[in-house]
Amino acid sequence: MRAAAPDQFTGQIRIVGVIASPAALARATRLRRPPDLLELRLDALRHSLGEIEHALPRLRAPLILTARHPAEGGRGRLSVAARRALLFRFLPEATYIDLEFRSVRQMPALLDEIRRRRLGLIISRHDLGRPPSLGELRRFIHSAAALRPSILKIVIRTETVLELERLLVFFQEHRSQLPIAAMGVGKLGGQSRRRLAQLGSALTYVSLDQAMVAGQSTLERLRRARRAYIR
């Protein structure tokens, strides 16, 4: 069993290496300097569960588990029951569980078990199509904060300067209320992640092999640039 999440987030910016393919899983087991956290995308690894179990003892970083909702970029169009089963299967290995806000009411037993085990809860929202308005984001954070998450994660499309500025305004308005991991995807995704890391985004997500979405850095590239990336 992995260590439980801290009772309070320390405010330190942490790097999350995303494992969403068998190749990334194999690479994660060989990292001499793993990132601060590793995220297992169970929806993307649904055909490699035996490989996950074999690799777990060699993953030398705390784990975030997620089984993404199909409407928010999840692979395989998995049902609620299938995603819940994946999360429960690997729950003893988790330090954090990333659960979309839309999935919370569908998985009350999972939420109870997360609380019982004192795991960290990441409440997430992935707007990969039309970016939400500031009003929508403000209503979301008000509702999500009531669940007392360890971290709130926001991912929106940032194709234009206006969309990027909207995300930055939202982050700066609310970062003092609770830890927020915010990032953009798309044309200005890379710029958004650099700016938000400098502003104090709680988590910075990187690929362990090929980037999964436009704007996502690799672990090596981020480490090479980190002195300029995070001041």
Q: Nearest 5°: CA angle at 171, between 127 and 61?
A: 75
Distance CA 92, CA 56 (A): 11
Q: Which residue has the higher pLDDT, 101 or 230?
A: 101
Return the H-helix or E-strand segment holding 127: strand 120-127
- Residue 110 main-chain phi, psi, to 5 deg: -65, -45
Task: Compute the mean pLDDT over every residue in the chain, rounded to the nearest whole number.
Answer: 89
pLDDT band for position 153 (cuts 50, 70, 90)? very high
Distance CA 216, CA 128 (A): 14
**Cβ contacts of 159 within 8 Å, gap of 6 or more:** 186, 187, 188
- Nearest in space to 62 (alpha carbons), one of 130, 107, 122, 105: 122
CB 138 within 8 A of CB 170: yes
**Percentage of the chain lying above the pLDDT 90 cut:** 77
Does the pLDDT of residue 156 top 80, yes or no? yes
pLDDT band for position 207 (cuts 50, 70, 90)? confident
pLDDT score of 177:
87
pLDDT tens-digit readout, 66-76: 999 999 999 99
Q: Which domains does the chain show, CATH number per domain?
A: 14-229 (3.20.20.70)
Distance CA 42, CA 67 (A): 5
